[in-house]
Structure formats: C-alpha cells, structure tokens
Amino acid sequence: MVHRQTGSGSGFRAYSGGGGRALISSVDDSSLMQTMNGSGMKGESFSGSKDGSVKGPESPQNYGFTSVVAAASKAANGLIKQSAEGFMSFMGGNRSFPVMGIMDDRRHRLKNLIKDAAEGSVAVHGLKEWGQQFLITDNGMFMTGNKGKTQSKGGGQGGGGAGQLSASQQAAAGGSGGGSQEGENFKIRFQLVENQNGKKQTQQSGAGAPKLARSFRSKSGVEFDIETFEYVLDQRAAKAGESGGGGNGAGGDSGGGETSSKPTGQKTLHKEESDTFHEITSEHQHLQRGQGNNRVKDKEIMAYYKDDKISSRVTDKHVHIRFEDFRIFVDEQGCWSTKPIQIKDDIDGSGARSSKPPVYQWDEPNNTWIYNAALDVRGDLKVDGDLKVTGALVLNGHYIRVSENGLITVTREDSRA
C-alpha cells in the first residue's frame, strides 16, 4: 500500500508528531505530577493559566528521583535569556497534548566526568553556586559540601539561584548581592526523624459526619497531607440489609462497601526535629544520640550530656572535666580542681561506691587532709604547714615515733612495743 501526501502535509505531520525542544521558564512542583511553563517554536507557549486553574504540560519524574530546575533568567522585556531546556513529545501526534520529557540545564550541568572521575561515574548535583555534589566513581563515593555560608536574599528562583551564593562567591562577584545577608553555614547532615508522611484517616459518610482536616502543619512549618479514605456504601447490599437479607442479623450495617482515596504524594523531611544526627559544617562536626553529644572543632573537642554542665573538653591549651559545679582541668601550669579532690575506689567504672572509706578525706573544720593509708614517698616530701602522722614516720629505714608525753624514739625495726 502506498501512502501519498503532499510536501505541506508531510511537514504538518512532522511538526505535529515529531516532538521538539522547549525552553523552561518555570516549573510547578506543588501538584502530584510536576508541570512546567515555557515556550517551543517562536510564538508557541507551553504554559498554564495565570490563576492556576489550568496547568502547563506534565513533566513526569522517574520513581524515587525528583528534581526542580532553576527558573529562567529574563531580560527587561520578559524574554528568556538563559534557562533550562527540555524535549517535548506530543501524544498521538497532537500538538495540543504536549508532555515534557528530559530536562537539563547548560548553566549547571556537571560535565567532564570521564576526564575528572571515570567512565561509568554517576553524580547528583544542584545549582553550581551551591557547591554540593554526590559522586560515585571508580575509587569510592564522595559527598562534597560547601565550606561557605548561604546568602539570605529575598525573592524566589529568579536569576537561576543567585540568592544561594556563598560568601566567598559573592565577594568574587564584586559583592553584587543587592542587599543580601550572610546566612547559615552549608551543611552535610545525616539524621533520623519522625516520618510525617503517609498518615491516613477514614472520613465517615453521611450528611452529619464532621469534615476531617486533610492536612497538618508540623513544628518545622511544613504542611503535610493526610490521605483520607472515604467509605462508599454499596446501595444494593444496604437495601438487602434493611429488608433482613443481611444473613448475620446486623441489619443495615451488613451492607457492603469500599473505601477510596486520592493520592497525596509526600513532602521533604529534612526540616523535621531530630535527636539522632551527624552534622558537618565548615565550623564543626556534631554527633548526637538522644542526650549524648560530641562536637569537634578545629581546636576543641567536647563531649557532653544535655549541656556543658556535664562535659569533658579538650583544646590546644587544656583538658577539662566538669560535673555541675565540680571541675578538674590540666593546663601547662599543672593540674587544678575547683573543689578539694577526694580519692575512693570505683569498682567497675559505673559510679558504684566502694564499701571502703576514702583514702583521702577533707577535714573541713581543720582545713586539712586526712590520709587513711600508708604513704610511700620516693624522694623529698615538702610540707607547708602541719604534718599529722598517727602511725610511724619512716625516714631512710629509721622508724620515728612520738609518745603521748612527747618522747621521740628512733629505731631500726618496726617495733610497736
């Protein structure tokens, strides 16, 4: 069979069904299927209505992966100067039914992987100004973060994410932030949080049934959807139940039915509270599990329980141990304590108290120490004040004792007679 068509007809079919490139002005990521706004051939618009009642072409994402391209940068007359691009298909050869396929952005594409990494490499990235990448290559996996600070700046996506330049990048750009302020540190964070997605509820049927809320706002400020199942009564089974045909004597409750719901998708969880995380910024590493914390800086390592009132700290100048108002620390000048030190046995390191009395005890009224054990000193013993000895004082093998009447005796042997 031979199909004949004119040149104009062939051109029209190619125009209608052949697909084409598109410039992406912006995307709408709030709906269950991402949509885009943009343009195709000269004068051709792929956009929804301004009031949002009609969406632009759908932009399906691969399951388990999603992304949002940066908005286009535009000239004063509204024409696109730079933008992400996509490849549009027209379902059934109908140009009024466009579907956006692959999107990419020449402004931010991570390139030269063969040269800089290896063949077969896989990478995830965002805007180039963020400086954050995850790379799988031949010699390992690399999650790379930015040591700078974010720039808090008003406005949305305009300018391809220029509001997220780091402080050093803003300076390199001549400080053209336009009123931007230095924000928080970029971070790499691994965390466990309570899942706010996937919550379900059943809406009662009937005119008097209360309407249930379809969403809620978490402490982070993110609004999460609740998947609502509505009970649909099987009218034929209900009538049979009313006429006694239920079989189990349950009357109208025996009527069959089914529940239906509308999909809700899910929202990001990265803003949710967490007490189990590992966070890395340009200033510190912080590891937390419940009330236990470990924080590492360039010249400080600190471990603490709840807060620094129960903590240990190491810096380049000293080592510090603290429990409430009791502190012990060592520096270049010696070992110090804010309270007198008492020595006692610690049986297993768990804080269990020994049945033995402390070797050292502080005699508060006399402002002195009481030592309840033998003291063996190899070398000089220097005492500023009184030295109270209840047993024998041994010096170079000689036992020195003082009787109650003040008589001093010196013997070579330990004779207690």
Using a 10 angstrom Cβ sphere, with 0-12 exposed, 13-18 middle and 19 or more buried, the burial of residue 278 is middle
Q: Is the pLDDT of residue 159 over 50?
A: no
| Structure letter (DSSP) for residue 200 | E
Residue 381: its pLDDT value, please? Answer: 75
CB 361 within 8 A of CB 372: yes
Q: Which residues contact 318 (CB under 8 A, 6 or more apart)?
A: 329, 330, 331, 332
The whole-number pLDDT of residue 131 equals 93
Q: How far is CA 209 from CA 203, 237, 311, 347, in A?
A: 8, 21, 55, 65
Strands 200-203 and 227-233: parallel
Q: What is the pLDDT of residue 316?
A: 93
The length of the chain is: 417
Residue 58 has pLDDT above 70, yes or no: yes
**More reliable by pLDDT, 55 or 408:** 55
4: number of Cβ within 10 Å: 5
Of residues 116, 151, 159, the one with CA closest to residue 137: 116
> What pLDDT digit, counting tens, does each position of 347-399 carry?
555 555 555 555 566 666 777 666 666 666 667 777 777 777 767 777 777 88
Which pLDDT score, from 0 to 100, does residue 395 have?
77
What is residue 100's predicted lDDT score, i.e. its pLDDT? 94
> What average pLDDT does this structure show over 160-176?
46
For residues 76-102, give the mean pLDDT: 91
* Per-residue pLDDT at 415 exceeds 80: no
Q: Tell me what pLDDT residue 119 has.
A: 96
Torsion 318-319-321-326 (CA) sign? negative
Residue 288 reports pLDDT greater than 90: yes
β strands within 29-139, DSSP E: 35-39, 45-46, 73-74, 80-82, 84-90, 98-104, 122-125, 133-137
pLDDT of residue 115: 96
Question: 164 with 127: CB under 8 angstroms?
Answer: yes
pLDDT tens profile 111-155:
999 999 999 999 999 999 999 999 999 999 999 999 988 875 433
The pLDDT assigned to 8 comes to: 81
Residue 314 and residue 292: Cα distance in Å, rounded? 17
- C-alpha angle 219/129/299, rounded to 5°? 70
For residue 348, the model assigns a pLDDT of 58
Show the beta-strand stretches assigned E in 215-318.
215-217, 223-225, 227-233, 257-260, 276-281, 285-289, 292-297, 300-305, 307-315
Handedness of CA 12, 13, 19, 25 (dihedral sign): positive
- Judge whether residue 250 has pLDDT over 50: no
Handedness of CA 328, 334, 340, 343 (dihedral sign): positive
- pLDDT for the residue 154: 39
Residue 1 banded pLDDT, cuts 50, 70, 90: low
The pair of structure tokens assigned to 246 is 């239920």
Distance CA 45, CA 50 (A): 13
Chain segment 23-39, per-residue pLDDT in tens? 999 999 999 999 999 99
Task: Note the pLDDT of residue 209.
Answer: 82
Query: What pLDDT does 160 receive?
Result: 46
d(CA 31, CA 385): 83
- pLDDT value for 399: 82
Binned at pLDDT 50, 70 and 90, residue 339 comes out as confident
pTM of the predicted model as reported, rounded to 2 decimal places = 0.68
Rounded Cα distance between 126 and 279, Å, is 20
What is the spatial distance between Cα 59 and Cα 73, in angstroms, rounded to a whole number?
20
The DSSP call for residue 379 is: S
What pLDDT shows up at residue 249? 44
pLDDT (0 to 100) of residue 376: 67
Q: Between these two residues, 370 and 295, which has the higher pLDDT value?
A: 295
- DSSP three-state, residue 114: helix
More confident residue, 144 or 9: 144
Higher pLDDT, 130 or 411: 130
pLDDT digits (tens, 9 = 90+) for 199-239: 999 888 777 788 899 999 999 999 999 999 887 666 565 55
pLDDT computed for residue 105 by the predictor: 96
pLDDT at position 161 is 46
Q: Is the pLDDT of residue 168 over 50?
A: no
Ramachandran class of 193: left when φ > 0, alpha when ψ lies in -120 to 50, beta otherwise: beta
Averaged over 311-328, what is the pLDDT? 95
Q: Taking residues 253-277, what's their average pLDDT? A: 82
pLDDT at 241 over 60: no
Tokens of 200: 């379900």
Say how far apart CA 121 and CA 114 lie, in whole Å. 8
pLDDT of residue 38: 94
Residue-averaged pLDDT of the chain? 81
